[in-house]
Chains A and B, each alone.
Chain A
Amino acid sequence: MSDATLGGPILRPGVVPPPRLTRPSAGMFALYVAAGGFFLFSLHGSDISVRSFIEGLPNMARLVGEMFPPSLARIQSVGISMLETFQMAFAGTVIGVILSVPLAILAARSLTPHVGLYYVARWLIALFRTVPDLVWALFFVVTVGLGPFAGMLTLVVDAIGFCGRFFAEAMEETDKGPQEALTALGARKSGIVFSAVLPAAMPSMINSALFTLEKATRASVVLGLVGAGGIGIELKVAMDLFQYDQAATIIIGVFLLVLVVERLSSMLRQRILRQST
């Protein structure tokens, strides 16, 4: 079938559609080539080996086989550690979210009272976010000793790094109309922040806070591996002692905990967003 049979109108001379694809500039083309080259170099650096993967499949099957049926021998101890894990995550998230709000106000360009405070707040948030939580956990284990308190402090810092940035962005992206209206009627800056900016940013902030709780629940599992409390240490011991059936119980427990937290946070999000003040 030729193009003519598709039935498009015949364009008059001089009416030409734009090209389907635009030719990249020389600089952009070089960038694409460089990115592709670095990807191949990265595969090489990662020791990619299909053969090792295929040869390891029986080991994987044997490991999964030894995990089932999961052992309930230490279920009470696992249950207590699981509760401790969630307590760390919940307390760390709540404290982190609360501390993030004033920091985010300082880090929002349109709200900060001084440009110097803006840069200090942005720098702090970037520091908290970019240093990995395992590094923070090691730092706090050295500072306050082994146990869940070190884990909770880690999650507070992690929450500030995450929420501080997203809260500030949510505040900056709010509709400026209500803020201008309140400015015009003589409201103070604090009034504008609390009665116009925060309510408008609240749906996005609640979203970020609940996502932080989910993230903290997952992270708190790993923090135990460096002695910062929670279920992680139980998992490490079980794996080190080749007690894969007990490890399976812990992994299923973690899976259920994260799943429940995700479902509850989703329900909570819907309920809170429907309410007005």
Chain B
Amino acid sequence: MTVVSVARAGKPRIAAAYAAAVRRPLDGVPARSATVAIELDISNLRKSYQATTTILDGVSLAVPGGQSVALIGSNGAGKSTLLRCCLRLIEPNGGSIHLLGEDVRALDHGALRRLRAQIGFVFQRHNLVGQLSVLSNVLHGAQARISGPRGWFHCMAPSALRDEAMHCLDLVGLADFAGRRADQLSGGQSQRVAIARTLMQRPRLMFADEPVASLDPSAGEEVMELFAELIRQQGLTLVFTSHHINHALRFADRVVALRGGRIDIDAMSASLDARDLRGVYE
């Protein structure tokens, strides 16, 4: 049975330890479990541009280990900004962010780089280096571990690293494409390579910013199923943004809806249905 067919067999499950701790009714916000560590803890996060455009207006969110969280909301609601602020790809204006126990805003350059190495980030666009081979692109996921040219191009990489990159490619079903130029792949294949690159990081937590928004519905469904299944298999915490309400309900344990830079809904997906979430887009 392939990875994709396993995913198609049913809705991805959440980590068993967390499932018992956090299932709550529609308006219930999960309490911090005594047994499951909080991996992402955001408090009163604010981000605005030029003092007039407020993107995030006091967002607070705690995500325990093993949980899968979908961030939904209309364009400009602050979903992508929230994820980027967590890794300081965008500097927030206020509030605090604790990621894997680290105070993100207090980290110096080196410590921030080491923290980022533990977080996989799948972007809306695959962001591969088109002129390089698929294998070199996957290998880049290990750059925080391997310094210098050994982590830049597969021809210079140690055999063990090349084998690990091939394994990651195999997990996304693209081992046969290792030697091909990345810009010769389809959109769906490219996004699967981007997922393989994050797996190469050996991440403890995964962010995904509308990972299938640039794909056609069929490819998007396939990539999302594969992605969710890999996350489930590895027991990773996942925070992803999406415009697909059905993806949020199907692939996330918890749905957080943003509206105007604030949290509008925060509830377990099992207690929601699509009608509860459509209002977010009105």
Contacts and interface: CB of A to CB of B under 8 A. Distances in A.
A185 B129 CA distance: 14
Contact of A181 (B152, B181, B194): B194
B117 A181 contact: no
Contact of A184 (B116, B149, B153, B181): B116
Nearest to B125: A177
A194 B149 contact: yes
Contacts of A276: 131-133, 179-182
A196 B143 CA distance: 12
A206 to B, nearest CB: 11
B66 to A, nearest CB: 22
Contacts of A181: 121, 123, 127-128, 194, 197
A203 interface: yes
Nearest to A193: B152
Nearest to B121: A184
B116 A183 contact: yes
Interface in A152-207: 177-178, 180-188, 190-191, 194-196, 199-200, 202-203
B155 A277 contact: yes
B89 A180 contact: yes
A195 B131 contact: no
Contacts of A194: 149, 152
Contact of B143 (A177, A185, A200): A185
Given A178-B129, A195-B129, A188 B89 contact: no
B130 A200 contact: yes
A185 B136 contact: no
Contact of B144 (A178, A186, A202): A186
Contacts of A196: 129, 140
Interface size bucket, A side? 20 to 34
A191 B129 contact: no
A135 B277 CA distance: 72
A195 B153 CA distance: 7
A187 B139 CA distance: 11
A55 B129 CA distance: 62
Contacts of B123: 177, 180-181, 184
B211 interface: no
A186 B198 CA distance: 11
B127 A185 contact: no
B26 to A, nearest CB: 34
Interface residues on B, range: 35 or more
A47 B170 CA distance: 74
B113 A188 contact: yes
A201 to B, nearest CB: 9
B197 A195 contact: no
A191 B194 contact: no
A277 B143 contact: no
Contact of B136 (A186, A188, A190, A195): A195
A182 B140 contact: yes
A78 to B, nearest CB: 42
B208 to A, nearest CB: 11
B132 A184 contact: no
A184 B131 contact: no
A184 to B, nearest CB: 4
Contacts of A180: 89, 123, 127
Interface in B152-200: 152-155, 179-182, 194, 197-198
Contact of B116 (A186, A191, A203): A186
B132 to A, nearest CB: 5
Contacts of B144: 185-187
B20 to A, nearest CB: 33
Given A178-B127, A195-B132, A199-B132, A185 B198 contact: yes
B113 A195 contact: no
B131 A185 contact: no
Contacts of B129: 178, 195-196, 199-200
B247 interface: no
Contacts of B141: 185
Nearest to B184: A276
B35 interface: no
A197 to B, nearest CB: 9
Nearest to A273: B131
A65 B155 CA distance: 59
A99 B149 CA distance: 19
25 contacts: A180-B89, A181-B121, A182-B143, A184-B116, A185-B116, A185-B121, A185-B140, A185-B143, A185-B201, A186-B116, A186-B118, A188-B147, A190-B148, A191-B143, A191-B152, A195-B129, A199-B131, A200-B129, A200-B130, A202-B131, A276-B133, A276-B179, A277-B132, A277-B133, A277-B154
Given A177-B125, A191-B151, A195-B153, 13 more contacts: A177-B127, A181-B123, A182-B143, A184-B123, A185-B116, A185-B144, A186-B117, A186-B118, A186-B143, A187-B144, A199-B129, A276-B131, A276-B182
Interface of A: 177-178, 180-188, 190-191, 194-196, 199-200, 202-203, 276-277
* Shortest 8 CB-CB contacts between residues of A and residues of B: A186-B117, A186-B144, A181-B127, A177-B127, A187-B143, A186-B116, A276-B181, A195-B152
